[in-house]
Structure 1
Amino acid sequence: MPEFDPEEPIEAHTYAELAMELHDADGVEETVDAVLQFALKAVNCTHAGLALAVRGHRAEVGAVTDPVVEQMHQLQIDAGDGPLLTSLNDQVTIRIPDAPAETRWPEWAAKAEALGIGSVLDVPLAVSDQTVGVLSLYHSSRNAFGADDEAVAHILARHASIAVAAARHEETMAKAVDARKLVGQAMGILMMKYDVDDDRAFAILKRYSQDTNTKLRDVAQHVVDRRGLPD
């Protein structure tokens, strides 16, 4: 990712080009970190955070630039309510000019005031109508984010959405490949130990997985580690 000179503001027309550099990040963790570092410069916010969507329409803290953001995110995740989750679930941008005075989420507003947060901008990251996360920008001053800041955040969010989705897909595929290799190793062990063919070895693994409500990968891992099925 390009280095930014803090003394020289980035021209608006370069935001999309710079954001594309996010695609060069390796893995989800590196990608979300790159998103936040760019956001700090591009929008000139005090803090930033990125929450990721997980199964069951839930959210988890992906990365933060400051513990203050983690507290704000975790408060909303634990309560199941707040601007971040509204942005995530409804795919809407939420700009809050005066966080301590926000009446829709009183508990959240009180926490924002206690932590010295004045303004908040939550922008959903979506790919093909599926929300993959939310970019949250925070500033210690009230009325810190204007229409230009929101426009820039949307440009970054569009590119970040693709980058995060791609990184997640690559990690999922890598895990799937590793799992297939592990199952293959476990099958080989069972074939030798019990003198069965590959179809029978796989059937044994699958049946044990179903009967014990254990993931097939975990059963295979046990076979590889212990050279046999669990008791």
Structure 2
Amino acid sequence: MALRLHDEPGVEETVDLVLEYALKAVGCDYAGVIFVHSKTRVETIAATDPLIERLDEIQMEAGDGPDLAALEDRISIIVDDTATETRWPGWAAMVASAGVRSLLNVRLYTAGTTIGTLNLYGTRPHQFSTDDQQVAHILARHAAVAIGAARTEENLWQAVDARKRIGQAQGILMERYDLTPDKAFAVLLRYSQDKNIKLRAVADQLVEHGSLPD
């Protein structure tokens, strides 16, 4: 499992594999992954059923629920029965009405950051045991490291690609207007600042269309 997770080429593929393993290893009915982008912004990255995205939205709209609690200060949470859950009664009532009775969530985190949560859902009350929780913890540890590495690699390649594109745009300006590399870069930077658009976007416009933004 660990080898396959670390061999996946990107974040999307890694998360999909995490959900595949979760369904098999824990025996849940649904699974999903939430990423945290900031203290006020979280996002459902992947889910095995559209229902899970709606359940996540319920928490976001209410600003309260087990997934958000796990992001704050809990490593793992089990909800034995949404029909009798008292910690998040508003969330629990809506989830129970959707046919989901149990929840097991585990925080995805590395030594440096909290990535999000892995959320496992069951249609029966008391569906998850402490053994299931331990298995989910093992999966989450490997998943967090693999996802963190995939995100870092994607950011690296995006940065490399942006640098190459900016270099291409510099070359066009140098040849067209007989500019030095520094002056060509200064032109791109000035357009970026004046138009309030990213430097990469200015370079893309020049390379793909042969002109700078109007």
Q: By the TM > 0.5 criterion, same fold?
A: yes
Q: Distance in 2 between matches of 1:20 and 1:42?
A: 16
CA shift, 1:129, in A, is 4.2
Aligned residues: 214
- Residues 37 and 192 of structure 1: is their aligned pair in 2 closer, same or farther, counting only changes over 3 Å? same
Partner of 1:200: 183
Partner of 2:31: 48
Determine which of 8, 27, 36 is the counterpart of 2:10. 27
CA shift, 1:104, in A, is 2.9
CA shift, 1:118, in A, is 0.6
Structure 2 residue identity aligned to 1:120: L
CA shift, 1:20, in A, is 3.8
CA shift, 1:136, in A, is 0.1
CA RMSD of aligned residues (A): 1.5
8 Å Cα contact 2:32-2:52 kept in structure 1: yes
Structure 2 residue identity aligned to 1:67: P
Partner of 2:126: 143
Q: Distance in 2 between matches of 1:202 and 1:176?
A: 17
Q: Distance in 2 between matches of 1:128 and 1:64?
A: 25
Q: Distance in 1 between matches of 2:58 and 2:38?
A: 19
Determine which of 71, 74, 87 is the counterpart of 1:88. 71
- Residues 57 and 132 of structure 1: is their aligned pair in 2 closer, same or farther, counting only changes over 3 Å? farther
Q: Unmatched 5+ residue regions in structure 1?
A: 1-17
Q: Normalised by the size of structure 2, how large is the TM-score?
A: 0.94
- Residues 45 and 19 of structure 1: is their aligned pair in 2 closer, same or farther, counting only changes over 3 Å? farther
8 Å Cα contact 2:191-2:213 kept in structure 1: no
Structure 2 residue identity aligned to 1:94: I
Structure 1 residue identity aligned to 2:142: H
Partner of 2:113: 130
Q: Normalised by the size of structure 1, how large is the TM-score?
A: 0.87
Query: Are 2:93 and 1:110 aligned?
Result: yes
Q: Distance in 1 between matches of 2:22 and 2:43?
A: 19
Question: In the TM superposition, what whole-angstrom CA distance separates every residue of 1:44-87 from its partner, at most 9, and x where no partner exists?
Answer: 11111111122455211111111121111122234433211221
Q: Distance in 2 between matches of 1:26 and 1:74?
A: 29
8 Å Cα contact 1:50-1:62 kept in structure 2: yes
Determine which of 67, 72, 80 is the counterpart of 2:50. 67
Question: In the TM superposition, what whole-angstrom CA distance separates every residue of 1:107-138 from its partner, at most 9, and x where no partner exists?
Answer: 32122112100110110010114111210000
Q: Distance in 2 between matches of 1:124 and 1:91?
A: 7
Determine which of 164, 171, 174 is the counterpart of 1:188. 171
Q: Distance in 1 between matches of 2:183 and 2:39?
A: 35
- Structure 1 runs of 4+ aligned residues shifted over 6 Å read none
8 Å Cα contact 1:91-1:131 kept in structure 2: no
Q: Distance in 1 between matches of 2:5 and 2:74?
A: 22
Q: Unmatched 5+ residue regions in structure 2?
A: none
Structure 2 residue identity aligned to 1:230: P
Identity of aligned residues (%): 51
8 Å Cα contact 1:187-1:201 kept in structure 2: yes
